[in-house]
Amino acid sequence: MVRSEHSQHELAIGYIMGMAYRKITALLQHRLKDYDITTEQWSVLHKIYNSDGLIQKEIADRTGKDKPTITRIIDLLESKGLVRKQAGERDRRSFVVFATERGRELICETLPIERGVNEEVKQLMDAEEYEKLVELLQRIHLQLGEESQNKG
């Protein structure tokens, strides 16, 4: 029996996607190092910047992170002066989160960096391949999201 060049593990879609994700994230993290923010914190701050006034549960839903992780990230962003929390009007137990002026400035400064990393990845394929890749990843995301909601 002839062994293939790659193990079955290396050909598994989850493995390949995970490796690509980690490499892209590492590249963005390297580019953000002078801004004292991780890619995880940046993505949450970016979501808050785009939709000021969300409660933590909405931020968790929109970023695909669980509530304890979002709470930890928001607390870190607040300690850095990038967001502020205020008690919700309808439910005083929930907090509404807003980007501070400093947080908005940081996103404005770093958005070109994030876009540059995306552009570098895009340059690895032609436009048709890129569109197909995005389409397939969105399909996986949506269909697996529906499955997990139906199971819960």
Rounded-to-integer distance, Cα 125 and Cα 121, Å:
8
What is the per-residue pLDDT for 149?
Answer: 54
What is the per-residue pLDDT for 148?
Answer: 56
> For the purposes of burial, counting CB atoms within 10 Å of the CB of 150, is it exposed (0-12), middle (13-18) or buried (19 or more)?
exposed
- Check: CB of residue 83 under 8 Å from CB of residue 45: yes
Low-confidence ranges of the chain (pLDDT < 70): 1-10, 91-92, 146-152
- Check: CB of residue 98 under 8 Å from CB of residue 86: yes
pTM here is 0.83
The domains found in the chain, sorted by start residue, are 36-151 (1.10.10.10)
What is the per-residue pLDDT for 52?
Answer: 87
